[in-house]
């Protein structure tokens, strides 16, 4: 079972806030302008969290490829020494 990070929890809270705001707007409580501003802030925050996660995955992938590249170069050196 994977542990949820604080970013994951924050992301889901923001999604819940977006849904709650949409329901609240349907019931007619907030003004249109304040609802649009709040919705924009929530969506922007969720997008930032998504991009942060994607860049983290990309960084881990790049590090993995560098390790493999180094291993292949060492293997080639060993093969050339033996021949």
State the pLDDT confidence band at 83, using cuts at 50, 70 and 90. low
Q: 81: Cβ–Cβ under 8 A, 6 or more apart, which residues? A: none
- pTM comes to 0.55
CA gap 35, 48 in Å, rounded = 20
Q: 73: Cβ–Cβ under 8 A, 6 or more apart, which residues? A: none
CA gap 21, 47 in Å, rounded = 17
41: number of CA atoms within 13 Å, CB side?
Answer: 8
- Chain segment 36-79, per-residue pLDDT in tens: 888 888 888 888 888 888 888 888 888 888 888 888 888 888 88
């Amino acid at each position: 079972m994977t542990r949820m990070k604080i970013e994951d929890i924050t992301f889901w809270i923001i999604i819940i806030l977006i849904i709650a705001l949409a329901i609240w707007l349907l019931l007619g409580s907030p003004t249109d302008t304040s609802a649009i501003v709040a919705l924009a802030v929530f969506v922007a925050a969720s997008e930032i969290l998504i991009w942060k996660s994607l860049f983290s995955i990309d960084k881990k992938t790049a590090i993995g490829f560098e390790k493999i590249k180094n291993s292949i170069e060492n293997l080639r050196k060993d093969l050339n020494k033996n021949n």
